[in-house]
Structure 1
Amino acid sequence: MRAVAPEPMSPWWVVSGLVAVAALVVVGQVLGPTDEPAGPIALTSAIAASCIVMGLMVLFAVPRHVVGRLLVAAGAFAALSVAGASWASVTPLAWLSQWTWWPPYGLIALALLLFPDGRPPGRRWAALAVAIPVATATVAVALAIAALDHPTTLLVDTSEPISARAQAFVFVAAGGMVLTLLCMVGVLVSLIVRWRRADGDTRRQLACLLPAAVIFVLALIAGPFVGDAAAVIVGVAIPAGMMLAILRYRLYNLDTIINRTLVWLVMTLLVVGAFVAVVAMIRQSVTWMSTGRYESLVATGVVAVAFEPVRRQVQRGVNRLLYGERDDPYLVIARLGQVLGRSAAADALPRLTATIARSLQVPYVAVTTDQGDDPTPLAEAGRPGTPMEAFPMTVHGRQVGRLLVATRNPNGRFTRRERRLFTDLALHAAVAVETARLIRDLRLSRERLVKAREEERRRLRRDLHDGVGPALTGISLQVRAVQRLVTGNQRARAQLVTLLSDLDVCGSELRQVVDQLRPPALDGGLEGALRVELTRYQSDRLAVDVSAAGDLTDLPAAIEVAAWRIVAEAVTNVTRHANASACQVTVRRDDDGLYLEILDDGVGIDAEVVAARARKGGLGIESFHSRADELGGHCVVEKVDPTGTAVRVWLPVAVPEQPQIPRQQRSDDLVATEENGSP
């Protein structure tokens, strides 16, 4: 949604008028008549206080904004109603209280319809934007005319008969109220429809308002059944929902205004509370100060001495609420160091971005690399929606990436102090990125080494089997032919017999070397080798079935050997430990790698047992993980329902040509974990 462009207008005149109304209310309550109020008080007072504060915040940030004006108008009407009710014996003011209590409801409904950009959500809802003010004005005008004949009793004493003219206008007002309530239900429906169709921040903004709108509409329908305490809650529900949307999603660029307003409100409450508490304590404990002059002086002195230290603490708390720990950069850096020190390499970058976003209350943090043209971040926390600033990440004078941080609101900028802090944090992020790159390079080097080793073994086996082996066999045949030719020289025949024996031993050892270099069964391909191998495990008590999918003919040697050995070891474990009647072996090649699954219906294995055997270096389970890990794959051993165990392995078929730091997960799910115990 587009924001309304600011226009130069100061709302100080509104503040002045509302201060005058507030003073009138206070004087009326303290010094004025004690008659029964001429109209509803609790809900109207809550609406006056909350709507005025919320509306002024919006107007200070975006002058002439429609939503801000509607909220201030609602608060002003409510304040006039409370002021009139407070001076019930003054007929003109009592007359005001008879009809000014209703317009705030229509104005709040209209503000809900136009939130947050001041425009109707669509053509189908434009009729509501016209019907709400018409119905609200009808009720207010009808009540105002009816109250001319009964300015102090129209809404207070229902037992007193009213004039025919007043009765007619009361019926008109009742019809207008029903129409206004129907319009409010329509506004609620529009919020629900907009929420269901929206996405991103707009959906979350509307979600902040929906509960408050439901409470507000239900309370108005309930009417007299709502008590004073509940009325106060209802009165602040809508402004509180708008405040939540503004605070959480940085609408209207209100950070500074909200900061100062919160500090001012808290300090006002503390000053008044401290003054009253000191005066009360003095009156209870020191009798000679009971005249009032001295106790006020003492209370004023106590408040004056404590004001500045308390204000600093309150300011620090409000800053922490809005900006996180930006005033304590050492704490942020220390927390980041602790998170990196306790995180594994795979989780370091997601936890780093989550920690920065949470500690400094920024909506989005991302880490990107300078490798290639891919702008996809390595790790990110939050959701982008506001302008971002980039901070270079350098290690040993070489830039390895950038730390992207979104501003807290669309028109906001970071302070110079915040930029220095983000620059320091980028250096820590650079170390994490460089560490991840080195670990990745090391892992890729190991994968290449393993694959090169197996390819070399396959080549060497082929050379020995097809070259040296036949050569030895040919030499042995030639020696036997010479032996048949030598008939008279027994000594020569004995030497030839010894030579033949040595050749046989050499051939046998060569066959052992060839078989140890690579399983002979794999010469016919992985699928055939597995089918031949697994027939050895077939029995009356165990049925082993093999299913294969995809092209398994041109797999790298290392992948073939690892897959063959993992499957053989897993089926061996099934026969020894599972007490199973069936075992299903699945081999599937996809575009990204080779997938293996060995599933049995045996007794199963507990996850704790798996972890314990892995820690003790158990050859079976540990070999699954080590063979998969050295090729860049992964292995999972888990119990399945209702019974049985599953061994699932994924092996990458191809190794990237250029080392790349792997893309890591989003870290939104880490924020909750960090908040529940991590520093």
Structure 2
Amino acid sequence: MSTEAHPSAETGRTPPLARVVAWLTVPLYVAGICAYGLLTSSAGFWSENPAENVETVAFDIGFGAFAVVGAVLVAKRPTNPIGWILAVVALMLAIFLAGGAYATYVMVTYGRPDWLAVLGAWTFNWFWYLMLALGLIYLPMLFPDGRLLSRRWLPVAVLAGVTTAGNVLLNALVETIPVNEAPGYGIENPVGIEGLGRAEDLKIFGVLNGLFLVAGIGSVASVVVRFRRSRGVERQQMKLFAFVTVVLLGGAVLTAAVSDATGARWLDGSSFVLSMVGFVSLPVAVGVAILRYRLYDMDLVINRALVYGPLTASLAAVYLGGVVSLQYAFRVLTGGGSQLAVVVSTLAIAAMFNPLRRRIQAFIDRRFYRKKYDAARTVEAFSARLRDETDLDALSEDLVSVVRETMQPEHAGLWRREPGGGP
């Protein structure tokens, strides 16, 4: 990248606008979220259900991670649009949520809006589409360097922009603006089109959403192609992004699907925890990847996750299956349950832990870390030969061969000092 196009890259200074955004993003986010909570509770719409309040706080913390990481990236990497996307998403959510809550409070309390309530309700009615486009389409497509994979992916970006603009326009021009959290209230839109009802009732709205879904699929395809083509540092960055997205967020979706299919309500809590951890981890992973902080430690994290995830699931299945089957056996034999089933199942998983972990580790190494696995096997085989080999020339050839197979250098050779040949 030419330093003439970005003077700040040459001087090491952050542009003034980037410094302002970096300093103000987090305070504005906190102020907006606090204002939203205060106005919602003052209007009498704060939920009495503790679980819903916990979910609200968790989402606030998740988007707070967007704000913090976005501010850091804007300050450290102002030429990369990823930081700006994270900061804008967080600020839009906080500011426009507060605006919608203000409109709700004014309408419930006074029954008629002032100009700020009109503005708050109007922006709240359409900002979601813009936020979703930034977070779900452009963030994955531009990660990690802030550029599209190639010009071939430009139509996907344009399609996302056109459909987003269409949805924003439809919701911005409705005749009556719905009021957040207060379904019985509406505000006359000063820029609305007479006779234009809810955007969701229009056929074109369904068409736009279908095209937006196509753009989303294109965005996912772009990430897959970039991952397959990536090498070196970019490969590590894509690994981190894919790990958080697939393992945490994908795990949350899978857990929720299993819960719905089996009726195991206790899995709902696990799904929510996984989704929140993934939600917070996503901007953190993006920040770590772009700033390249201890990026190569990611291989160890992925390896451990691939091993201990199936290990935990297997042991849990064995434990639950053992408890259920043994309790059934005790009922048949004695006519009642017994705590012995729990004890036996616990001892069984304790005995299985290490053998099962080693088997899963070996399978993961063979399947996903084949070069490392082959190198370890080669070294083990050489160690076994080393105990029995007495021919020095053959041993030297074996050593050079092992170095070539495991380290794969461009050139490999062995220098050996002959006995009595001097120092």
Q: Which of the two has greater strand per residue?
A: 1
Structure ranking higher on relative contact order (CA contacts 8 Å, 6+ apart): 2
Q: State the structure with more CA Rg.
A: 1
Q: TM-score under structure 2 normalisation?
A: 0.50
Structure with the larger helix share: 2
